[in-house]
Amino acid sequence: MSDISCRDLCKTFHQGGDTITALDRVCLEIEEGEFVCLSGPSGSGKTTLLNALGGLDTPDSGEIAIGEHRLDGMSRAELADMRLRHIGFVFQSYNLITVLTARENVEFIMQVQGVPARERTRLASGVLAEVGLAGLENRRPAELSGGQQQRVAVARAIATRPALVLADEPTANLDSRSAAQLMDLFVSLNRERGVTFVISTHDARVMRYARRLIGMRDGRIVSDERQQPIAMDI
Amino acid sequence: MNVSWVLAWRNIWRHRRRTWLTVGAMVFCNVLLVFLVSLQLGSYQMMIDGSLAAYTGHIQVQRRGYHDDQHIYQSVPAVMELASSLRSVPGVGEVAARAEAFALASSAQRSFGILLTGVQPGYEPAVSTFPGKVREGRYLQADDAREIVIGALLAQNLKAGVGDELTFIGSGRDGSFAAAVATVVGILDTGLEEVDRSMAQIPLGWFQQVFAMGDAGHSVVIRVPSLEQVGDTAAGLRAALAGRNELVVLDWERLMPGLRQAITSDMASAWFTYGVLVLLVAFSVLNTQLMSVLERTREFGVMLALGMRPAQLARLVGMETLMLAALGLGLGVAGGGLLAAYLSYAGFVYPGVEEMMARFMLGGRIYPQLSPVSLLAGPLTVFLGALLAALYPALRLFRLQPVAAMRAL
């Protein structure tokens, strides 16, 4: 399901009178269960590529497929359904719903999926425990540290058991310790659940966790290397 | 537990002050609407009761065509017997027979045109409040006495008082010359200038003699215990008079179309005012919900990114508005209901409208009428208006693109 295939993806933005090329004929294949980092300086197209892979943004041209699903040509509703059922998102600034508790944040998206109330409460508790937040389920985001909030966001992303998790600069707002803990969590989810991770970052600490490191510059893939992760013995 | 409802409820309290201001506007408007509609319905009830009790009655039986073309020959035969027989019809309360004619009344010094009514002295006080308005002297007593009671202004114009003699002349039913002399036994002060200037009443038996009516009259006036019974009672009367095609049963709306028109006209202007009130509250809700949606653009973007559809976001905004409106409805109905219930019991004085109230034969105090309609019509309109007002902010969500929305500050 999470095999990702992109071919000749192009995306331009118009800002004032200028045309900015965010993606320039990007071709990419990612296999199920991979742990991939997209790296590059700001403006290199990492986030745009991530948005395109997640069906959040539509490329101007090119093809994207996740498993047997072709994203290009899908309607907004079909894309929403695709995101809801098959893709988990983790954002730089956590983006939790501030008026809901940690458990409710996780439950909410499961409710949208149609998971019955009793089951989603059980699942939410389980996944929060899995990310190390047992006992903090009833706290609201403002009552949690940045690292804990990001863990809630991860719990929310994986609660629906997606095959693919897309994370955009997930450690950018975290201190080193929290960042390391989050990356350890990602790696363990990747290893134990087989979830495919695609993480955009320009943080060298994060890149060390990846088994595959894709470098981008000016909307193009300029490097694609497989590496032995050095942060964990995996 | 449904997280959507929890989320909607907590969302509306993100800005407590703004929420309370919006709910407060709804509550104020609802209290005002409940009070005003209760007052309006209460006033109409009093206007109708007062006006009909004065003279017209709830229902009249007349000769077909008399109401539109009031000629003396358009008469009802054996009118007193008819009145007696109608007393047994179910729902009928009080019944009295009448006859009417235009005449010229003269005192020793002056002459004036009058509307002379022949009434049954024993029954008339039960169908009309005029007999109770005797300012001087007394009301009519015997059915064939040569007595007359006249309006206060007519008495003033004729320079006549109790004990004076008046001559009146007119045309009999058969075209003959009708003339008689009557002794003034009472002066009526109804408070209605028009009536007091031209009204005179004599006993029906004597009226029939003077105007060559035989046993005929022009109307049988009927009062029923309450306004709500008019329709059924009129239907019963029509059934009772089924074989007499020359007669017609007219209810108060047909007899006094002006009263219904006055109410309709008053209602139209009142509904306009209520409409403006509802519109103001709807704009307040629109403002609150639009602000709320704009402030949460980023959050909505995240929700879209996670896989929610715009329609689900719109439903969330709808749920929030529903809660706001329900709060306004509940508190407004409770507050307005309590106020209207108290005033419907205690009544209140509305200064400056005494003349208008006298015109409709109303007393000094107004009693609002609390009913399901007066209690709920206004607040439910506000409720629906608030829900409609949330449509625009909700529809805006259909234009949101996840990426652009998440970039919003």
pLDDT at B359 over 70: no
Global pTM? Answer: 0.77
The string over B356-390, giving b where at least 16 C-beta atoms fall within 10 Å of a residue's C-beta and e elsewhere, is ebbbbbbeeebbbbbbeebbbebbebbbebbbebb
A128 contact partners, CB below 8 Å, separation of at least 6: A102, A103, A106, A134, A136, A137, A152, A155
A80 interaction partners in chain B (CB closer than 8 Å): 304, 307-309
Residue of chain B minimizing CA distance to A84: B307
Q: Please give, rounded to a whole number of angstroms, the shortest distance from the CA of B306 to a CA of chain A.
A: 6
- B174, B142 in Cβ contact below 8 A? no
Q: Nearest-CA neighbor of B116 among B204, B212, B191? A: B204
Can you give the three-state secondary structure of chain B, one letter per residue? CCHHHHHHHHHHCCCHHHHHHHHHHHHHHHHHHHHHHHHHHHHHHHHHHHHHHHHHCCEEEEECCCCCCCCCCCCECCHHHHHHHHCCCCCCCEEEEEEEEEEEEECCCCEEEEEEEEECCCCHHHHCCHHHHEEEECCCCCCCCCEEEEEHHHHHHHCCCCCCEEEEEEECCCCCEEEEEEEEEEEECCCCHHHHHHEEEEEHHHHHHHCCCCCCECEEEEECCCHHHHHHHHHHHHHHCCCCCCEEEEEHHHHCHHHHHHHHHHHHHHHHHHHHHHHHHHHHHHHHHHHHHHHCHHHHHHHHHHCCCHHHHHHHHHHHHHHHHHHHHHHHHHHHHHHHHHHHHHCEECCCCHHHHHHCCCCCEECCCCCHHHHHHHHHHHHHHHHHHCHHHHHHHHHCCHHHHHHCC
pLDDT at B287 over 60: yes
Residue of chain A minimizing CA distance to B14: A99
**Residue of higher predicted confidence among A232 and A101:** A101
The confidence score (pLDDT) of residue B27 equals 95
C-alpha pair distances (Å), A162 with each of A2, A113, B61: 9, 12, 83
pLDDT at B351 over 80: no
pLDDT at B403 over 60: yes
Q: Which of A80, A91, A97 sits opposite B307 (nearest CB)?
A: A80
pLDDT at B108 over 90: no
User: Domain residues of chain B, as ranges?
Assistant: 3-52+259-407, 59-223
Say how many Å lie between the first and final Cα of chain B, rounded: 31
Strands (E), A31-123: 35-39, 61-66, 69-70, 87-90
A225 contact partners, CB below 8 Å, separation of at least 6: A212, A213, A214, A215
Q: Look at B306 and A100 and tell me if their CB atoms are within 8 Å.
A: no
Query: Sorting pLDDT into bands at 50, 70 and 90, what band is B178?
Result: very high
DSSP state of A33: T
pLDDT tens, position by position, B291-304: 999 999 999 999 99
Q: Please give, rounded to a whole number of angstroms, the shortest distance from the CA of A88 to a CA of chain B.
A: 7
Which residue out of B16, B300, B306 would a mutagenesis test of the A interface target, given it has the greatest number of A Cβ atoms within 10 Å? Answer: B306
The confidence score (pLDDT) of residue A172 equals 85
Q: Please give, rounded to a whole number of angstroms, the shortest distance from the CA of B23 to a CA of chain A.
A: 20
Average the pLDDT over A74-84 and give the result. Answer: 91
Phi, psi (deg, nearest 5) at residue B21: -65, -45
pLDDT at A66 over 60: yes
- A100, B6 in Cβ contact below 8 A? yes
- B137, B149 in Cβ contact below 8 A? yes
Say how many Å lie between the first and final Cα of chain A, rounded: 23
**Residue of higher predicted confidence among A54 and A17:** A54
Q: Look at B304 and A80 and tell me if their CB atoms are within 8 Å.
A: yes
Average the pLDDT over A36-46 and give the result. Answer: 91
**Residue of higher predicted confidence among B359 and A183:** A183
* Cα–Cα distance, A99 to B6 (Å, whole number): 9
Token couple for A82: 């695709």
The confidence score (pLDDT) of residue B358 equals 63
Q: Look at B3 and A57 and tell me if their CB atoms are within 8 Å.
A: no
Average the pLDDT over A168-181 and give the result. Answer: 86
pLDDT at B409 over 80: no
Query: Sorting pLDDT into bands at 50, 70 and 90, what band is B408?
Result: confident
- A30, B279 in Cβ contact below 8 A? no
- A2, A82 in Cβ contact below 8 A? no
Which residue out of A79, A82, A105, A112 would a mutagenesis test of the B interface target, given it has the greatest number of B Cβ atoms within 10 Å? Answer: A112
Give the residue numbers in B contacting A (CB under 8 Å), as ranges. 1-4, 6-7, 10-11, 14, 298-299, 302-310, 312, 401-403, 406
The confidence score (pLDDT) of residue B360 equals 58
Q: Please give, rounded to a whole number of angstroms, the shortest distance from the CA of B404 to a CA of chain A.
A: 9
pLDDT at A43 over 70: yes
The confidence score (pLDDT) of residue A93 equals 85
How does the average pLDDT of chain B come out, rounded? Answer: 90
The confidence score (pLDDT) of residue B157 equals 93
Q: Look at B14 and A100 and tell me if their CB atoms are within 8 Å.
A: no
pLDDT tens, position by position, B152-169: 999 999 999 999 999 999
Query: Sorting pLDDT into bands at 50, 70 and 90, what band is B1?
Result: low
Q: Look at A99 and B3 and tell me if their CB atoms are within 8 Å.
A: no
* Cα–Cα distance, B235 to B231 (Å, whole number): 6
The label of the residue with tokens 């004619």 reads B101
- B151, B188 in Cβ contact below 8 A? yes
pLDDT at A232 over 80: no
pLDDT tens, position by position, A117-138: 889 999 999 989 988 889 999 9
Percent of chain A with pLDDT over 70: 97
Query: Sorting pLDDT into bands at 50, 70 and 90, what band is B145?
Result: confident
B303 interaction partners in chain A (CB closer than 8 Å): 97
pLDDT tens, position by position, B294-332: 999 999 999 999 999 999 999 999 999 999 999 999 999
Q: Look at A81 and B307 and tell me if their CB atoms are within 8 Å.
A: yes
Query: Sorting pLDDT into bands at 50, 70 and 90, what band is A193?
Result: confident
Query: Sorting pLDDT into bands at 50, 70 and 90, what band is A234?
Result: very low
Q: Please give, rounded to a whole number of angstroms, the shortest distance from the CA of B386 to a CA of chain A.
A: 24
Interface predicted TM-score (ipTM)? 0.90
Query: Sorting pLDDT into bands at 50, 70 and 90, what band is B363?
Result: low
pLDDT at B9 over 90: yes
The confidence score (pLDDT) of residue A233 equals 42
- A6, A63 in Cβ contact below 8 A? yes
A48: enclosing H helix or E strand: helix A46-53
The confidence score (pLDDT) of residue A161 equals 83
Query: Left if phi > 0, otherwise alpha if psi is -120 to 50, otherwise beta: which for A50?
Result: alpha
The confidence score (pLDDT) of residue B3 equals 83
Token couple for B331: 């508190």
